[in-house]
Amino acid sequence: MSDGLHNKVIFQQVAELLQNARQQVLRTVNSTMTITYFEIGRIIVEEEQNGKDRAEYGKQLLQSLSQQLTKEFGKGFSVDNLSNMRKFYLTFSISESLTRILQIKKTQSVTAEFNKVDYQTLASFFKLTFTHYVFLMRIEDEKERSFYKIESEKNNWSVRELKRQYDTALYTRLALSRDKEGILKLSEQGQIIEKPKDIIKDPYILEFLGLPELHQYSESQLEEEIISKLEHFLLELGHGFTFVARQERITFDDKHFRIDLVFYNRILRCFVLIDLKIGELKHQDLGQMQMYVNYYDREMRLEDENKTIGIVLCQTKSEAVVKYTLPENNEQIFASKYKTVLPSVEALKELLENK
């Protein structure tokens, strides 16, 4: 190895160490500040509980505390921020998962127990930034809030990514394909991928493409937009996806066919083929995808890999066409709708409640 190449390798190793160190310092700072804000919220709540007129006393307390802290420590302690810290404590001190971590019995006082909790215990629960928690506090349903908290931790979502996943009703879309036990697992464990159906969403939300709902575009234009925003599309696909190819050509009997998009899922250890369809799904579309999947299973799949999955993305579909075209024990071919504008969260939740 030449001296120049050797020095470059050494530099890359040192640079990686420094980057990791910076990230670790940032994580430590964020964790420390989050727990500090939680404790400030606890102190405020306990002081309010000692006040005669809670509402009025609490308002005065926040104003007085804001003035004193701002004078001593500078920005960051406005009445609104202190109010968020108060709400932060009230929201998460009753969290079922945090209660389990602390092993608090129902008959014990939560507030009393928190006084005895050390930093490491709280750090094992609060792994996100305070800005993440400010957003999470807006989610009223605790199970849904817990899901987004777990997914943010597992996937290192930025606050922007968290907002996007919430705005596209990820929890509700995943819950639609699960029974009550499956929905409970979502809130306790996040999205667990064990079988092909676990990666499927219906609908997929492609609002990041910037295509109006009624805009006239071709399948090739839709594909081009997806490729140009591939990072966003991978985020929408979910866990473990890597991009392999577009317009993948397969040939047999002197006939050529092209698969719109090819991905690989590292968790399921299988290829995932995606075909894009404008308009309503036809049974021929499912038959064509079956052919693509069969080809990949027989010609491309390695012995230690799992069977190929095929997803047909369409604007509209008939559930009856899907049901009677695919075999009853189907675990490889799926048809999902896609939307190019954000759906109504209320409408999706209504579907969940009526399922």
Q: Set out the domains of the chain in order of their start, with CATH numbers.
A: 3-138 (no CATH), 194-343 (3.40.1350.10)
- Condensed to tens digits (0 to 9), the pLDDT of residues 260-274 reads 999 999 999 999 999
Question: What's the distance, CA 256 to chain centroid?
Answer: 38
- Condensed to tens digits (0 to 9), the pLDDT of residues 210-261 reads 887 655 678 888 999 999 999 999 989 998 999 999 999 999 888 899 999 9
- Condensed to tens digits (0 to 9), the pLDDT of residues 75-103 reads 888 999 999 999 999 998 877 666 666 65
Contacts 24+ apart (CB under 8 A), 211-217: 211/340, 212/340, 212/341, 213/339, 213/340, 213/341, 215/340, 217/278
Nearest CA among 311, 75, 37 for reference residue 199: 311
Instruction: Please give the full DSSP string across 199-220, using - where no structure is assigned.
Output: G--SSEE-GGG---TT----HH
**pLDDT value for 174:** 85
- Condensed to tens digits (0 to 9), the pLDDT of residues 167-209 reads 888 998 888 777 778 878 888 888 888 899 889 998 899 988 8
Its pTM stands at: 0.75
- Walk across the sheet containing 333-339 and list its strands: 204-205, 333-339, 309-316, 270-280, 255-265, 241-252
Whole-angstrom distance, CA of residue 221 vs CA of residue 218: 5
Asked if 225 contacts 209 with a C-beta cutoff of 8 angstroms, the reply is: yes
